[in-house]
Amino acid sequence: MPPVFSFDTPPLVTKSKSPLALLFVGHPNSGKTTLFNQFTGSHFKTMNYPGSTVTYTTSTWKTATTSVMVMDTPGILSLSPHSEDEAVTIDTLTTLHLLIPGHTPHPDGLVVVIDASQPLRQLGLLHQLLATGLPVVVALTMIDVAQKRGLLIDWKGFQDKIDAPVVPINGRSGEGVQLLKDVCMFTLLQKKSMPTPSIPPIFSQAQRTLQFGWADDMSQAFFISKSPSKKTFDLDRIVLDPIWGWILFLGIMGCLFWSIFWLTAPCMDGIAAGFDYVGHLFTLICPPSWGRRLLVEGLLPGLSAVAVFVPQIACLFFLLNLLESSGYLARGATLVDRPLSRIGLNGKSFVPLLSGFACAIPAMMATRTITGKKERLLTLAVIPLMTCSARLPVYGLLLSNLVGKSHPFLAGLGMGLLYMGSIACASLMALVGGKLLQLPKSNLGFQIELPTWHCPVWRHVFVQVWHQTLGFIKKAGPIIVVISLILWVLSSYPTPASSLTMRWGPYLSPIVAPLGVDWRVGVALFLSFSAREVFVSALLLMGVKGTMIGTSSCVGLLVFFMISMQCLATLAIAKKETGSWRLPLIVSLFYSILAYILAIGVVQFLHILGVS
């Protein structure tokens, strides 16, 4: 059967002035984003970084007669928001005209996503949404889990009772999605002039008692417990055990970082060798010309610097996605809440900090789930200290210098020390920052839902990894290529001997001399403030071999890169998340100056000890 409707991702083209807006609303972990992806058939605009959907996502659904803007929103527990991401959802419900100019303040229809295995808790939200008067279509997800728990779902009876269409969805097979589309289109088209929806800003205890009482009644009538759920072994008995839980936690984190290095090493060597080979090939085939030099000395090393650490990033994204989709991350957050609260953070800081080991940008966006303002700002401030993937090529180069290629164990140990160092630094900074930040201590506590354990849907995991990795290449790639080209031009014209870098570079000497390195390393350091990984390709371009940097300077540079804030993209995101340039600039300057002073200290100390 041919599809009834077809989807297109933006650009949004509509004939009518204002497109219809269809909103996906539901609890966190209700399977909303998965359903949204199946509904729109695209993963392109979905930002499902570990943690949750923290911003709304749109996709345009075009048919012959009409155009519908389909929006995925962050999960909410009720219509009174508790955190930044939840406030986004309330905004899409009440002030949509600010997000889509020309639209009415309210959406034209809601798809309320309900996890069918948890009716007792999630139907309370449905009660609130039905009361708004907005047209509602209910999508029941996780039908398979509900059936496994012995629930018999009378969705037709439920549909008659609430007087709104109900569509059961099988998330794994996608069964029911087409029906949902048809039902949504029908609901949107037959929409009558509706009364202005009413959304109370806050619910009283009595109202909530009423809502959950309704949820109890509905569950009893239409989500019938056929057989008492089988008493299976509960994984949480181990995962949240005061002793075994920690052993498992440390084991999982250890494996996570261990596999990033050891699994991906052959891949990375292969890619580096491949780029070298292509370079040699061009040198052999092409006659000497400026074009060849541009390619072999400028473009290829730049591209290689990005490509080499793609395996590590993909591996990290893969493992984080795996942990997320299994449901472990919420358990991890529960375990570390106590230690994190000691340094002024929160268990909810765990997922953003962990994502910070991949890249600070998604990590900063993930902080929106943190309810307390002070805790959120502190988490944002220490995220740049996490050992992000852009540091890895720099660490790789300096460590292989330090211990030589023949000691992979020592290099691994060094890497471990750097990770520990960054965590220690972040803890210290959080403590100091907490004292300096003139904000009252947040008293929202820590509450988190522990989602049902799931076997990951491999297809979803791989699709996510693919898009996240591609996103990283698209973000980092162009910057590095452009900077490599600029650097190549600066260092080759008019002639390599009288080029701009040759003339101006030596002025950097006094600044980097205390680190025990010459001005060419200084130029590379200077350029690495745009993005850390540029350092490696810049050194290559300037003809600095790793062996030309002394032992003490290597250690000093490692310390520098561990702390210094060198990423323009992170700075821009931090500005967006905090709402001003002030805090991001102060923190960046502080980290960079601190890194410089500490690096000099380390180098000079090692000199005194007699290390070259």
Partner 1 sequence: MNTLATIALGETVYVDDFQGNPLVIDRLQDMGFIPGSKVSLFSTLSGTMAVEVRGSKIAMRKEDASCVLIRHASSCD
Which residues contact partner 1 (rule: CB under 8 A)? Answer: 77-78, 80, 82, 117-121, 124, 202-203, 205, 208-209, 212-213, 215, 234, 236-237, 240-242, 245, 330-331, 333-335, 337-338, 341, 347, 371, 443-450, 452
Q: Which two tokens stand for residue 26?
A: 């539901």
Q: How far is the CB of 237 from partner 1 (least distance, A)?
A: 7
Identify which of residues 76 and 184 has a Cβ nearer to partner 1 in the complex.
76
- 500, 476, 595, 481: which is closest to 538 by C-alpha? 481
Q: How far is the CB of 474 from partner 1 (least distance, A)?
A: 37
Identify which of residues 296 and 444 has a Cβ nearer to partner 1 in the complex.
444
Cα torsion angle, 114, 115, 117, 118, sign? negative
Residue 274 makes CB contacts below 8 A (sequence gap 6+) with none
Identify which of residues 333 and 595 has a Cβ nearer to partner 1 in the complex.
333
Q: How far is the CB of 158 from partner 1 (least distance, A)?
A: 17
Q: How far is the CB of 180 from partner 1 (least distance, A)?
A: 24
Task: Please name the helix (run of DSSP H) or strand (run of DSSP E) that holds residue 57, with its range, or none.
Answer: strand 57-62
Identify which of residues 193 and 205 has a Cβ nearer to partner 1 in the complex.
205
Please report how many Cα atoms fall inside a 13 Å half-sphere around the Cα of residue 458, on the Cβ side: 0
Q: How far apart are CA 168 and CA 3, in angstroms?
A: 19
Q: How far is the CB of 443 from partner 1 (least distance, A)?
A: 6
- Rounded to the nearest 5°, which phi and psi values hold at 494? -65, -40
Q: How far is the CB of 354 from partner 1 (least distance, A)?
A: 17
Q: How far apart are CA 555 and CA 551, in angstroms?
A: 6
Identify which of residues 242 and 610 has a Cβ nearer to partner 1 in the complex.
242
CA–centroid distance for 270 within its chain: 28
Helices (H), 286-369: 290-293, 300-308, 310-326, 328-342, 350-355, 360-366
Q: How far is the CB of 80 from partner 1 (least distance, A)?
A: 7
Identify which of residues 430 and 539 has a Cβ nearer to partner 1 in the complex.
430
**DSSP state at residue 497:** G
Residue 358 makes CB contacts below 8 A (sequence gap 6+) with 313, 316, 317, 320, 388, 389
- Per-residue CA distances from 589 to 179, 519, 525, 571 (Å): 55, 22, 15, 11
CB atoms within 10 A of CB 289: 9
CB atoms within 10 A of CB 449: 14
Identify which of residues 8 and 236 has a Cβ nearer to partner 1 in the complex.
236
Identify which of residues 331 and 520 has a Cβ nearer to partner 1 in the complex.
331
CA angle 286, 292, 296 (to 5 degrees): 110
Identify which of residues 45 and 82 has a Cβ nearer to partner 1 in the complex.
82
Q: How far is the CB of 114 from partner 1 (least distance, A)?
A: 13
Q: How far apart are CA 591 and CA 580, in angstroms?
A: 18
Q: How far is the CB of 28 from partner 1 (least distance, A)?
A: 11
Q: Which long-range CB contacts under 8 A does 412-420 form with residues at least 24 apart?
A: 412/258, 412/261, 412/262, 414/558, 415/261, 416/257, 418/387, 418/558, 418/562, 419/257, 419/387
Please name the amino acid found at residue 391.
R
Position of tokens 């600070």? 360
Q: How far is the CB of 208 from partner 1 (least distance, A)?
A: 5
Q: How far is the CB of 330 from partner 1 (least distance, A)?
A: 7
Q: Which two tokens stand for residue 183?
A: 């039902």
SS3 category, 114: strand
Q: How far is the CB of 448 from partner 1 (least distance, A)?
A: 5
Identify which of residues 160 and 234 has a Cβ nearer to partner 1 in the complex.
234
- 253, 272, 351: which is closest to 310 by C-alpha? 272
Residue 431 makes CB contacts below 8 A (sequence gap 6+) with 343, 344
